């Protein structure tokens, strides 16, 4: 069974994406970080990191990040 994943948070800083993933994990929301950096050195290559969650969890995940994330 294939489940739909949705991007709910985008940042140029990979560590912030990992923090968002960890925060969602504390609320039992499975999340993955998709690294779209065009270089091993983000400050040189640009790009972004995205946090994806299951589509059914997307609204709740966005609310959690908006209300509880202190790294944004």
Per domain, the residue ranges of the chain are 9-51
Give the tens place of pLDDT for each residue, 2-18. Answer: 689 999 999 998 899 99
- pTM, two decimals, is 0.83
DSSP labels for 3-66? --EEEEEEES-HHHHHHHHHHHHHTT--EEEEE--SSSSHHHH---EEEEEEGGGHHHHHHHHH
Question: Residue 1 above 50 pLDDT?
Answer: no
d(CA 1, CA 39) in angstroms, rounded, equals 33
Give the tens place of pLDDT for each residue, 19-65. Answer: 999 999 999 999 999 998 766 665 565 679 999 999 999 999 999 99
In contact, 21 and 65? CB cutoff 8 Å: no
Dihedral sign for Cα atoms in the order 61, 46, 36, 34: negative
Residue-level pLDDT at 31? 98
Residue-level pLDDT at 55? 97
């Amino acid at each position: 069974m294939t489940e739909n994943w949705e991007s709910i948070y985008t940042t140029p800083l990979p560590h912030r994406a990992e923090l968002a993933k960890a925060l969602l994990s504390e609320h039992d929301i499975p999340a993955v970080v998709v690294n779209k950096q065009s270089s091993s050195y983000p400050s040189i290559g640009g790009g972004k990191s995205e946090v994806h969650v299951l589509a059914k969890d997307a609204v709740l995940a966005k609310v959690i990040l908006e209300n509880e994330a202190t790294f944004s």
